[in-house]
Structure 1
Amino acid sequence: MPNLKNYKRTEYKGGTQNWSIDQDKNGNLYFANNSGLIQFDGSTWKKYALPNNTAIRSLKIDDSGKIFVGGNNEFGYFKADEKGELKYFSLSKLIRNKDSQNINLIWRIHVFNGEVIFQSFTKAFFYKNNTLNVLNAPKKFQFSFVINKRLFFQDKVLGLLEYKNKKLYPLKGTTVLNDKEVWAIFPLRDNKILLATLEKGLFVYDYNSVKEWNTEANTFIKRNTSLGGSIIKDKFIILNSVLNGIIICDLNGKIIQHLNRQKGLQNNTILTSFVDSKNNIWLGLDNGITFINENSPFTYFDYSYNIGTVYASVLHQNKLYVATNQGLFYHSWNTSFTDEPFNRVEGTIAQAWNIQVINNTLLCSSNSGALVVKHNKVSKILDTKGYFGFKKIPGHPEYVIGESYNGFSVFKITPSTVEFVNQIQGFDETTNTFEVELDNDYLWLKKNPYLYRMELSDDLKRFESVKKYTQVSAINKGIGSLQLINDKVYFQSKNHFYRFSADQDGFFEDRKMSRLFNKIPVINTLIQDSKGNLWYSFNESLGVLEKSGGGKYIRKEAPFCNLTGNLVNNYISVNTIDSNNIFIGLTDGLTHYDAEISNNFITKPIAFIESFSFPGDTILTGNLEIGDKQYCLPYRDNHVKFTFSSPTFENQENVSYSYKLEPFEDTWRSWSPLSIKEYTNLREGNYIMKLRSKNSFGVVSDISQIKFIISPPWYRHYLAYLIYILLIITGIYVISNRIKLKIRKNKYYETIEQRRLYLEKEAKIRHEQHELEKEIEKLKSDKLQIKILAKDKELVNNSLQVVKKNKTLNTIISKLKEIDTNILDDSTKTEFNKLHKSIVKEVNTDKSWKDLEKHIKNVHFDFLKRLKEKYPTISPRELDLSTYLLMNMSTKEIAEIMNISNGGVELARYRLRKKLGLNKKENLIGFLMSI
């Protein structure tokens, strides 16, 4: 089976049936669908409808790119407008009224001798230079065909007719086809043509008589009916069937390939087939579209052939044997590999790890043990332990060593028998992931992360020595793979190849071998096939160094890119029978590779910028001839979007794109499968959008590009800058004149201002002088006040001294009163009385206290006024106390002045605090000073 891909109607958003297919010069595919014209560019589908929304039954694209279509009573063409949108132009309007009746369905369209021919059952319309000529069917047309530059019509009564010089000429002996619907005509050798009919089979016509084509293909068509077909590479014929998919046969009628629903098609009714520019096949189905990758050296045997994961394959006695996870299978081998499933070898139902031919004996290594296979069944079970494979033992031609699940065993193979000999003692570890090779001296086993060197005894019963290595080079750590190349054991580490020297008991590098892999990614497996080619795996991919003359190799990796991810890790299987038949094991089957097929199937892809969008408009550039055309966008449309396409239909999911927008980006963006890119808020300027695509083989396309200009905003337009310059010049002129006028005015006002400043300065000096005088007066007043206060203090002190003096005198008076004068003589009594009167007079005539009170009240008049206004209920006595406290007099002094005790002063203070509304923590004197 080739690789194929189905497209359902949910993907292409169209109707079920697809009647005709064609391809334009850009590689885009077009399908005549029940819902209209379907376009596919490899990444996106687009649909275009006829004006009457009817189905399209036929289409053809001419060299100018016009897409001619035909439907029910309607035909014309689609052509891209200036924005790349496909617009429909009806040609049926050109028909004269008398010919416009009963046009019917347009089933075929041909481009022939510069004319476009639209054929229905009743008429054929010839279009050229915007004129339409009509050819009426002699009786009733069936279909028409262009073969070998000749145009044929089938008439229901007259048989095949050839159109020449605007006339129809019957072909000899073709009236036998009148009861048969001819759906396709193919050229054959010897100037013969093959006629494919709907239900009657295949016929050969030599321009004299019609004969049945008795071949495998004819038998198939008779059984399944035919809906035409196509020819591929001028060597093979594709025949569409109604009931059973398609067959591909050679020009001798031998069926080469049969594809139907069981083989992967989504429908068995094939309405049309088309061979594209790369010789791949497109099928228009009764429900859907299918792509078949025929132009490839690979074909596949998958689950439909009864095989699963393939671990090994071998050709033996004209049969191909395949070891799979479900057992051992075989298929008969001959030149024409018949399209039949593989059969299971009887007795193998478990995992089969390997299948080998040793000494003309077929040995199967499986989970069930070591098996001998003869006549498509297990003839003998040599050992019931699980085995991975067998190797010949150098120097012992009749003996082989087998790798089992727990060590190694020896078997003897003779032309008449195969026998288990013994288990080899000295090593019994499980070797699940392993590589093993033998040379003349040792058996080498690689079991991660170690490499074992084991020496077999001469009697093959034990390992005389077992040595373990963790590396073969001090520079390149680790052990990558173990392989036998040209009968020599090589040890690979990071693409450097080493061999073992028994004399030096060490490893040395084979630089010639290492040079072969110098530019190859680090490999993990290397296999030499029967032709000396070196197959290697890396990163789940496969490559080969094909051996050529002179000991040189040709490196090939691109053809195997499509196998990436499908190889069986640690069990790479390559079976080279010859250059035409190479089998490679996969996780989901077996692939057949033909190395002789030219590598022209790996072609350079084409990259298209499919659409160019900006706010309010979209240009489908993929439908246009861009050339050096440059699009101009206003600044408001500086948000642009591009979509990409590459009409590469093989492994389309692996197509990737790289792009850059110059001069916005200096480097190419990394490869990505995304086919859309947006840029926002681009500045004005010239831009070039460049695009490359890369197909699944790693081939890069030429660069496709679109040029566009983003105009600057109006305020950055060159006309705006011109206006800005004129405005600046005008502004400079106006400002210059205004400055000159201002200067003249300023000189006038400057004189006035200087006069004003002089007067203000003079007034300010006078004011400052006045203020200075006032300050002096104030200082004098303050100084006087300070002197007054000092005098007040001095007066208070003096008054207190007077009070004390008076108090002392009163005390003396009291003491004098206590003296009994009767005891005194008269003179003394007289003197005593004089003294008493003198003291009393002194006390009574002293007015210093009243003067003190008056002076204090004069000095603190403002304070007493404010206090009285703030606290109207305060008594005169409390006013006096407040004054004394303000003067910072002590309790003792206040008591003496007020002639009360110290306790009385404290009581008076308490009452004053209460009247003033002060709590215990507030300072009374501070409060009074704040008033």
Structure 2
Amino acid sequence: MNLIRTIIILYLVLFSNILLGQEKVIGLPEIRNYKKADYNGDPQNWEIDQDKNGNLYFANNKGLYQFDGFSWHKYSLPNSGLIRSFKIDKSGKIFVGGENEFGYFKPNLKGKMEYFSLSNSINKVNLKLMDIVWKIHLYNDEVIFQTFVKAYILKGNNLTLLAPPSRFQFSFQVNNRLYFQDHSLGILEYKNGKLYPMQGTTSLNGDEIWGIFPMPENKLLIATLNNGLYLYDYKKIIPWNTQANTFIQKYDCLGGTTLNNKFIILNSSTNGIIIFDTSGKIIQHINHEKGLHNNTVLASYVDDKNNLWLGLNNGIAYINENSPNTHMGYSYGLSTVYASAIYKENIYVATDQGLYYHSLIDNHKEEAFKFVEGTSGQTWNIQVIDNQLICGSNKGALIIDNGKIINKINSLGHLYFKKIPNKPDFMIGTNYNGFGLYKKVSNNWQFIDQIDGINSYPYSFAIDNKYIWYKKDDLIYRLTISEDMKKFENIKTYKNISIIDKVIGSIQNINNVIYFQTNNHFYTYSASKESFVKDEKLSAIFKNIPKIKSLNEDADGNLWYVFNESLGVLMKDQNDKFKNVVAPLSNFTGNLVTNFFSVSTINSENIFIGLTDGLAHYNSKQKNNYSNKPKAIIRSFIHSGDTLILNNGQKKIDKHKLPYKFNNVKFTFSSPTYENLNNVEFSFLLEGFDSNWSNWSNTAAKEYTNLREGNYVMKLKVRNSYGVQSDETSLLFSISPPWYRHSLAYFIYIAFIFLSIYFIRERMKIKIRRNKYYQTVEQRKLYLEKEAKIRLEQYELEREIEKLKNEKLKEKILVKDKDLVSNSLQIIKKNKVLNGIMSKLKNINEEPFEASTKSQFTKLKKSIAQEVSSENNWGNLEKHIKNVHYDFLKRLKEKHPKISSRELDLSTYLLINMSTKELAEVMNISTGGVEVARYRLRKKLGLNNKENLHSYLMNI
């Protein structure tokens, strides 16, 4: 069987289901598990639904849990946490049913869910019989709450009861028809408030029906708990003997749902879920071994993007059924994949642990890849050459068929093989010692010998009609093989491709032409010019593509390139035009084996890509929503005063106004984009605060503190894992100014300023008047003080004058006293002379004188006696001097109490500046005595030799 025939068979037989829908038949979709610790609830989750805003809800034993993709919120019933059923209507009401309780949640204006009980209108007797509400249906204009005992029908504001013929089991809504299972009458259809038995359904009375699904030709598929699947044509029920039925009979059924109206999903109690088509053929089986956290599935739900959610007995699971990518990893027994190839209805993969293969038939079994015995260790490559499967590995060059090694060409470690152009029976392979030569003999490849000249380790190479090319380190090697192909006779190296492009990027063979690439510029080698020539056409194709690291051409001519640890492809159409596709491959970022990147293409629906943790399957034709814009949601607006939960379906508030004390705000973000949540990123801008949009980040919250008063607009964008960016969403809010910056406060401030100005002006006027008064008083005071000062100065001057007068007078007195003393001394001297004359006259004998002479002599004696007695004596003079100088003597006595009267007299005489001779005469002592008296006085007064006695006495 040749390769073309194999591909045709695979395409017609194995992948025909892809033409019918988008469900995968190869590999596993992305599976994400949420444990009870993630949502902080009970392990069991019974029902799932989604609101118009994309939020998901889960009925849990502890309440109703809401998930927006980034955060969980819990809503509880008043009497207990248990919720087994719920439905969301178009208005956003969430009708819920628990144990002896049912009603609905509705968001208030702040987005907080408020519960309104409907069971309160039932009397206590019926309430005791109510039991658990297992199913809720939105049927026409009615809401039906179904328990095993009764059904409660809400129409408008009226609540009525619907009693079963015996006892209800479960109820199901299919194609706008509502069915109940009754224990005695089988399946009943509800119409206009009544129940009508359906023909031929009592045969299932012993079974519990857990699901009813629409089928082609107006039939119903009935899934029972223990006895498998049945088809019903509204007349009779017959077993549905299919792969799906066999599975359910073995693992039981706990309900299910439909997918794309072409597939049915059934939940099992012990082995996960199965997805099958309307013929009963299982397309996919997902259980604990394939990635589910738990094998008991209580509920399944397909969201608005056709992705699958499972309510497990222990947790919640998300299955990305809408992605064009599936994965075969650890559950398939695969590790790092270096290469893959399709050969005889099997896919072979070369891994770091050996060579593995898997049948492409009966994929619903999804068993692990099988190991090819004898290939343990590193396998580098697997490729089909001349309809033979050749593996390059540490074990050597191996020929593989039917999962076995049928021939070992060479035991040396090998990597890649390429046929020599124009020599169909020869090929060259790279091994750990360089290049080896192989020849096909009797349709079997045989190792001939090593080609001498190269002993390095070439990872990859290319061959044209003349040369062998390979890149090592920073050089390109051009090898010319000899005619006998035993050696390389000419080896040339190139460090640069051109003057402009000096760094060598990669070597690739595209459409049988070898291209040398660097900086997305492609060159071919011109043998005639012996230089590299730029290919403008291919370079133009890669002009707007990020700088690539490596490039592979697949079997359909598509160009796969690696850039920045990411993957892209230029898909080739029928007109040889290329379309750049990056978004659906972005999930492989960081998971590529970049140095050994491999891609195997069967057709556009079946492309296999090697990853570090397995093998990916990519269907480029599958329709998905990666090109649709995601929706950015500001999930909550939190401040210290309150929390607003947005996007809960409440009436929209155009603008939120906060007091200044709540100027610390926090926003949380979400996006109903549940695929690859780790790669969903947000960017935000608070208009009025931020100047630029924030960097993209998967942080779904932002807090602002101490915002000033003013108007703000919070803007948000989201970018999904495919790099598609949403439209902006925004939230308007304002912060009122503090009371001291309020407009009324400013009015008060202005009024206060005017009043202050008026008050200050009036105060200034008063102050000016007062200042003028005080100035006048001060001037008057200064005038008076000046006048008093003048008077005082005048008085002092008068005193000084008086003092001067006194001093002059004193001096005059002293002078006069001295003159008086002098005169007195003269008089005393004269008296002494006169007394001497009198004494001599007395001694003259008058007898002899004549009478006239005697008379004259007597007159002379009387005249002299009269002259002596008429003069003042010295006692009077001394008394006069003491009286004149009384104050001086008093002060001298006070200052020197021990001075004697004799010394006082001497001091007085010295004060009037009497000479020593005069002192001697006055005091009747000798001049020597005067000096002694003067010396004693100086000592008594305490004067040293340098001090003047007269000056001292003058200063007393």
Partner residue of 2:664? 639
1:774 & 1:373 partners in 2: Cα distance?
Answer: 147
AA matched with 1:682 = L
2:175 & 2:649 partners in 1: Cα distance?
Answer: 32
2:618 & 2:362 partners in 1: Cα distance?
Answer: 15
**1:61 is the counterpart of 2:92:** no
Report if the CA contact (8 A) 2:307-2:319 is conserved.
yes
Q: Secondary structure at the match of 1:142?
A: strand
Q: State which drifts further: 211-220 or 718-727.
A: 718-727
AA matched with 2:754 = I
1:859 & 1:89 partners in 2: Cα distance?
Answer: 127
1:463 & 1:403 partners in 2: Cα distance?
Answer: 14
1:775 & 1:352 partners in 2: Cα distance?
Answer: 134
AA matched with 1:501 = S
Partner residue of 1:211? 238
Partner residue of 2:190? 163
Q: State which drifts further: 643-652 or 527-536.
A: 643-652
**1:148 is the counterpart of 2:156:** no
Q: State which drifts further: 550-559 or 727-736.
A: 727-736
**1:226 is the counterpart of 2:253:** yes
Report if the CA contact (8 A) 2:145-2:153 is conserved.
yes
Q: Deviations over 1:871-897 (max 9, x none)?
A: xxxxxxxxxxxxxxxxxxxxxxxxxxx
Partner residue of 1:505? 530
Partner residue of 1:125? 152
Sequence identity (%): 54
Do the aligned partners of residues 414 and 578 (structure 1) sit closer, same or farther apart at CA in structure 2, a change above 3 Å counting?
farther
Partner residue of 1:797? none
Partner residue of 2:514? 489
2:259 & 2:440 partners in 1: Cα distance?
Answer: 50
Offset of residue 54 of structure 1: 3.8
Match of 1:303 among 327, 330, 344: 330
Offset of residue 298 of structure 1: 0.9
Partner residue of 1:94? 121
Match of 2:749 among 707, 710, 724: 724
Partner residue of 1:48? 75
1:758 & 1:539 partners in 2: Cα distance?
Answer: 99
AA matched with 2:514 = V
Offset of residue 414 of structure 1: 4.6
**1:84 is the counterpart of 2:111:** yes
Report if the CA contact (8 A) 1:435-1:447 is conserved.
no
Partner residue of 2:382? 355
Q: Secondary structure at the match of 2:647?
A: helix
Do the aligned partners of residues 377 and 749 (structure 1) sit closer, same or farther apart at CA in structure 2, a change above 3 Å counting?
same
- 1:264-413 residue pairs with structure 2 within 5 A? 264-334=291-361, 339-413=366-440
1:850 & 1:712 partners in 2: Cα distance?
Answer: 102
Report if the CA contact (8 A) 1:246-1:259 is conserved.
yes
Q: State which drifts further: 505-514 or 162-171.
A: 505-514
2:310 & 2:416 partners in 1: Cα distance?
Answer: 45
Q: State which drifts further: 589-598 or 81-90.
A: 81-90
Q: Secondary structure at the match of 2:437?
A: strand
Partner residue of 2:545? 520
Do the aligned partners of residues 763 and 657 (structure 1) sit closer, same or farther apart at CA in structure 2, a change above 3 Å counting?
farther
Where do 5+ consecutive residues of structure 1 fail to align? 777-840, 863-931
2:257 & 2:628 partners in 1: Cα distance?
Answer: 23
AA matched with 2:630 = P
Partner residue of 2:133? 106
Do the aligned partners of residues 199 and 741 (structure 1) sit closer, same or farther apart at CA in structure 2, a change above 3 Å counting?
same
Where do 5+ consecutive residues of structure 2 fail to align? 1-27, 802-925, 949-956
Q: Deviations over 1:587-631 (max 9, x none)?
A: 111111111101434432222222111113211123244645211
Report if the CA contact (8 A) 2:357-2:370 is conserved.
yes
**1:590 is the counterpart of 2:624:** no
1:616 & 1:173 partners in 2: Cα distance?
Answer: 63
Do the aligned partners of residues 769 and 159 (structure 1) sit closer, same or farther apart at CA in structure 2, a change above 3 Å counting?
farther
**1:546 is the counterpart of 2:600:** no
2:215 & 2:541 partners in 1: Cα distance?
Answer: 48
1:136 & 1:629 partners in 2: Cα distance?
Answer: 47
1:502 & 1:400 partners in 2: Cα distance?
Answer: 23
Partner residue of 2:825? none
Match of 2:228 among 201, 208, 226: 201
Match of 2:775 among 746, 750, 761: 750
Do the aligned partners of residues 744 and 316 (structure 1) sit closer, same or farther apart at CA in structure 2, a change above 3 Å counting?
same
Q: Deviations over 1:224-282 (max 9, x none)?
A: 10001010000111010011111100111000011111111111111111111111111
AA matched with 1:536 = Y
Q: Secondary structure at the match of 1:622?
A: coil
Do the aligned partners of residues 842 and 762 (structure 1) sit closer, same or farther apart at CA in structure 2, a change above 3 Å counting?
closer
Q: Secondary structure at the match of 1:10?
A: helix
Q: Deviations over 1:634-675 (max 9, x none)?
A: 111111111111222111111111111111112111111111
Q: Which has the higher contact order (CA 8 A, sep 6+)?
A: 2
Do the aligned partners of residues 844 and 100 (structure 1) sit closer, same or farther apart at CA in structure 2, a change above 3 Å counting?
closer
Offset of residue 765 of structure 1: 6.9
Partner residue of 2:828? none
Offset of residue 488 of structure 1: 1.3
- 1:889-900 residue pairs with structure 2 within 5 A? none
2:454 & 2:438 partners in 1: Cα distance?
Answer: 17
Q: Deviations over 1:499-540 (max 9, x none)?
A: 222222222222221221222211111001111110001111
Partner residue of 1:874? none
Q: State which drifts further: 732-741 or 244-253.
A: 732-741
Offset of residue 768 of structure 1: 8.6
Offset of residue 692 of structure 1: 1.4
1:590 & 1:112 partners in 2: Cα distance?
Answer: 46
Q: Deviations over 1:549-570 (max 9, x none)?
A: 4332111111011111111120
AA matched with 1:424 = I
Partner residue of 1:831? none
Q: State which drifts further: 527-536 or 517-526.
A: 517-526
Q: Secondary structure at the match of 2:103?
A: strand
Offset of residue 415 of structure 1: 5.4
2:192 & 2:321 partners in 1: Cα distance?
Answer: 39
Do the aligned partners of residues 41 and 757 (structure 1) sit closer, same or farther apart at CA in structure 2, a change above 3 Å counting?
same
Offset of residue 104 of structure 1: 1.0
Report if the CA contact (8 A) 1:42-1:648 is conserved.
yes
- 1:549-568 residue pairs with structure 2 within 5 A? 549-568=574-593
Do the aligned partners of residues 771 and 484 (structure 1) sit closer, same or farther apart at CA in structure 2, a change above 3 Å counting?
farther
AA matched with 2:526 = S
Partner residue of 1:786? none
AA matched with 1:728 = I
Offset of residue 416 of structure 1: 2.3
2:789 & 2:530 partners in 1: Cα distance?
Answer: 115
- 1:690-839 residue pairs with structure 2 within 5 A? 690-761=715-786
AA matched with 2:599 = V
AA matched with 2:411 = T
- Count of residue correspondences: 798
Do the aligned partners of residues 493 and 752 (structure 1) sit closer, same or farther apart at CA in structure 2, a change above 3 Å counting?
same
Q: Deviations over 1:665-694 (max 9, x none)?
A: 121111111112111111111111111111
**1:188 is the counterpart of 2:215:** yes
1:228 & 1:619 partners in 2: Cα distance?
Answer: 37
Q: Deviations over 1:436-462 (max 9, x none)?
A: 111122111111222111111122111
Offset of residue 755 of structure 1: 2.8
2:652 & 2:793 partners in 1: Cα distance?
Answer: 90
Match of 2:599 among 574, 578, 593: 574
Structure-1-length-normalised TM-score: 0.82
Partner residue of 1:793? none
Structure-2-length-normalised TM-score: 0.80
Offset of residue 333 of structure 1: 2.8
2:235 & 2:523 partners in 1: Cα distance?
Answer: 73
Offset of residue 773 of structure 1: 12
1:372 & 1:849 partners in 2: Cα distance?
Answer: 157
Give 1 or 2 for the bigger CA radius of gyration. 2
